[in-house]
Chains A and B, each alone.
Chain A
Amino acid sequence: MSAPTHPSTHAEVRERGSGEQRRIPVRRRDRGSDGAGFSALHHAVLTLWALLVILPLLWTVYTSFKTSREILTDPFGLPEHMQWENYSRAWQEAKIGEYFLNTLIVVGAGLVAVMLLGAMCAYVLARFQFPGNRAIYYGMVAGLTFPIFLAVVPLFFVLKNMGLLDGRMGLVGVILSYVAFALPFTVFFLHSFFSGLPDEISEAAAIDGAGDFRTFFQVMLPMAKPGLVSVAIFNFLGMWNQYLLPLVLNTERDNYVLAQGLVNLQAQQGYKVDWGGMFASVVITVIPVLIVYVIFQRQLQGGVGPSTDK
C-alpha cells in the first residue's frame, strides 16, 4: 500500500479506505481527545453486531456435526464425533439434493429470463420515444408496490388453466411467475441505466449498419454490464428467497424448492425431529449463497439498490 509518507497537506491524507494512513502522524487537534474513545466505541458496536451475525451461523455449522441428543442436552458443546452422516441423511433421505436441483433450475431459468426480458423492455422504454411510453413505464413501476399475496390466489388459477401447474410443467409456471414479479424492479433499475448511456454510441452503430436487434445485443447490452450484474445479484437473492409463490403454486412434492423442502422437513418431523439432519440441511442451503455473495460482493460496493432518483 502506497500511503503518502509525508502528510504535508490535508488533501493527501484524505484518500479513503487504507488502514495504513491512520498511522501517519498528524498534529493533534484540539478536540482530538474524544477521538480515541469514540473510535473504540464504534469498534465495540460494530464488533457486537458482527458477532450477532456470525455467532449464530458458526453455531449452526458446528451443531450440524452433532447428534440430535448432543444438541438437546448441551447446546454449546462441541461434537464428540463429527457426524458426517447428518449430511448424507440430509442430502438423500431429506431429499435436499433434489430440492437443490429444482431450486437451481427455477432460479437459473428465472434469472436469465428476467434479465433478458427486463433489459429489452427497459431499453425500449428508455431510448425510444413513442406515444404511451410513460404510461407503460409507470404501469410497470407501480408493480413494485403490489403486495404479492393479493395476487397469488388468482395467479394460481391463471397458471392452472394454462396447464402450467401439472407435473414437471409446474416448474415452468413457477419460473414464469418469478419472472413476472421480478420485472418491475428490473425494468425500474435498468431504465435509468440505459437512459444514462450516451446517444453517440447507438447512432454510430446505426450508421455502421447495425439494426435495432444487433445494436441492442452487441453494443448496448455489453455497455450496460455493470448495471446488469448488480440487478442480477438482487434478483438472484430475491428469487432464492422466494417462499410465498412456490408455497402456493408449486404443489407437487417432486418440484419442491429448497425453501419448501426445509419448512416441510421441519414441520413434518414433529417431535421426532432429526435435529442433526435439520442443521445439516440448513448449512447445505446457506453455504453456497454465502460463497456466491462473498465472490460478488465487490459489485455491491458501488452501491446498488432501489433508488428514488429517477
Chain B
Amino acid sequence: MTASGVDVGERETAAATRGVARRRRRVPTPQRMLFFLVFLGIPLAVYLMFVVSPFAQSFYYSLTNWSGLSPSMEFIGLANYQRIFDDPVFWKSLRNNLALLIALPTITIVLAFALAVMVTIGGSTHGGVRGVRGAGFYRVVSFFPYAIPAVITGILFNFIYHPGGGLLNGFLNLLLTPVNAVLGIVGAEPMQDVGTAWLGDQRFALAAVGFAIIWTFVGFYMVLFVAGIKSIPQEVLEAARIDGSGRFRTSVQIVAPMVRDNISTALVYMGIFALDAFTFVSVMTPNGGTDNSTKVVSLHLYQTAFRDGRFGEASAMGVMMAVVTMLVAVVVIGLGRSKKEKR
C-alpha cells in the first residue's frame, strides 16, 4: 500500500459518509424504504382492500339496480333511495333503531356509572374514600356478559324468555305461588300462570331485546369507568368529602365531569351499537318479530340483500345508516368538546 492509496481510500470514505448524511436527510436508505414498504404497506393494503374499497363500492352500488346474482346492473340514479323513502318497513326499522339509540346508551351508561361509583368510592365513609367490600368480585362478575359471544347471549335470552320452560316466566310463577296461596285463603280467584312469549308479544319484544343488550354491556362500561375514576387523585375526592359533599353529589358533580372523556367515548360506541344491533335482533327474533316489532335497519338490509336479492337497494340503506351513524358520532363528540371548552 502506498501513501497515496491510503489517501484515496480516506477520501472515498469521507465522501461516502457525506453521501449517507445527505441521503439520510433527503432520500431514505434502501433498508428504510423496505421497512416502510413492509410495515406501512402491508397493513394499508389490507385495510384499503377489505375495508375502504367495499365501502366505496357500496356507494356506487346504491345507485344501481344490481341483484347480486347477475353480473349485469344498470345505473338508476337515486331510484333506490326513493324506494326506501316509500318503504314502511324501513321507517319502522329506523324507528326501532332510534328507540334503541335513545334507551340503550342512557340506561347502560347510567347503570354502569352508578355501579362503577359504588365499587370505587361507594364504601364506608369512615377512613379514606374507597369502594365497598368485595369490589373486585363485583367488577369481575359484571364483566362476564361481555366475554360471552353476543350470539350466545341472544340464545341464552331466548331460553330465558321462552313462554313454557323459560327462566323469566318460571320465576314470575314462583312469585305467584305465595300470592295465590293468600288469594286461596281469602277465597278469591287465583291468578293465572304467566305464559307470556316475551319475544313474540309486540309490546315487550323490543324491550326484551334491549334488556339483553344492556345486560351485555353494563359490565364493560363499568370497567371503563372504574379505570377512569381510579385515575382521579384521592385528594380531590377527600376534599369534596371534607367540604360536606355526600357520595351522590360527589359522583354527579365531581366524578362525572372528571371522567367526561370516558363517558363520551361510551356514548359514541353505544350509539353506534344501537344503530346496528344486528346480532342480538337477528338471533332473538330472526324475522324481526311480530309485525316487525323488533326489526332494525341492519336486519332489513340483510334480508333485502341476501333474501330478496336487491343489493342495490340494500346498499342504499347502508349508505343512509352510515350517514346517520356518522352524524350521531359527530354530534356526541361535538357536544363533549364544546362543554370542555366552556370549562
Contacts and interface: CB of A to CB of B under 8 A. Distances in A.
Interface in A15-62: 15-17, 19, 21-22, 24, 26, 28-29, 31-32, 34-36, 38-39, 42-43, 45-46, 49-50, 52-57, 59-60
A39 B132 contact: yes
B278 interface: yes
A187 B43 contact: yes
Interface in B107-154: 114-115, 118-119, 122-134, 136-152
Given A76-B170, A121-B43, A289-B149, A308 B140 contact: no
Given A181-B51, A263-B151, A300-B223, A290 B144 contact: yes
B265 A308 contact: yes
A269 interface: no
Nearest to A149: B298
Interface stretch (B85-93, B161-169, B179-187): B161-169
A120 interface: yes
Interface residues of A, number: 113
Interface in A59-92: 59-60, 63, 71-73, 75-76
Contacts of B54: 151-155, 158
A260 to B, nearest CB: 8
Contact of B125 (A13, A32, A125): A32
A227 interface: no
Interface in B296-341: 298, 301-302, 305-306, 311, 314-315, 318-319, 321-322, 325-326, 329, 333, 336
Given A53-B144, A241-B150, A293-B144, A212 B43 contact: no
A34 B134 CA distance: 20
* Chain B, interface residues (CB within 8 Å), range: 35 or more
Contact of A56 (B160, B224, B228): B160
B39 A123 contact: yes
B152 A117 contact: no
A118 B325 CA distance: 25
Nearest to B244: A31
B230 interface: yes
B65 interface: no
Contacts of B142: 49-50, 53
Interface core residue of A43, A117, A303, A304 (most chain B CB under 10 Å): A303
A297 B140 contact: yes
Contacts of A150: 55, 58, 315, 318-319, 321-322
Given A53-B142, A146-B51, A212 B128 contact: no
| Chain A binding surface SS class | helix
Interface string B243-278: 010110000000000000110110011001001101
B37 to A, nearest CB: 10
Contacts of A263: 151, 155, 283
B47 interface: yes
Contact of A72 (B127, B130, B140, B165): B165
Nearest to B57: A154
List 7 tightest A-B contacts by C-beta distance, closest first. A303-B227, A150-B318, A180-B50, A14-B128, A121-B43, A154-B57, A154-B54
Interface of B: 31-32, 35-36, 38-40, 42-44, 46-47, 49-55, 57-58, 61, 68, 114-115, 118-119, 122-134, 136-152, 155-156, 158-160, 164-167, 169-170, 174, 215, 218-220, 223-224, 226-228, 230-231, 234, 238, 244, 246-247, 261-262, 264-265, 268-269, 272, 275-276, 278-279, 283, 286, 298, 301-302, 305-306, 311, 314-315, 318-319, 321-322, 325-326, 329, 333, 336
Interface of A: 7, 10, 13-17, 19, 21-22, 24, 26, 28-29, 31-32, 34-36, 38-39, 42-43, 45-46, 49-50, 52-57, 59-60, 63, 71-73, 75-76, 117-118, 120-121, 123-125, 128, 130, 136, 139-140, 143, 145-155, 158-159, 176-177, 179-181, 183-184, 187, 211-213, 216, 237, 240-241, 243-244, 248, 258-259, 262-263, 266-267, 275, 278-279, 282, 285-286, 289-290, 292-294, 297, 300-309
27 contacts: A14-B238, A17-B130, A50-B141, A75-B167, A117-B43, A121-B39, A143-B51, A146-B55, A147-B275, A150-B315, A150-B321, A151-B51, A155-B50, A159-B50, A176-B46, A181-B51, A187-B43, A241-B279, A263-B155, A279-B159, A290-B144, A293-B147, A303-B231, A305-B220, A305-B262, A306-B265, A307-B262
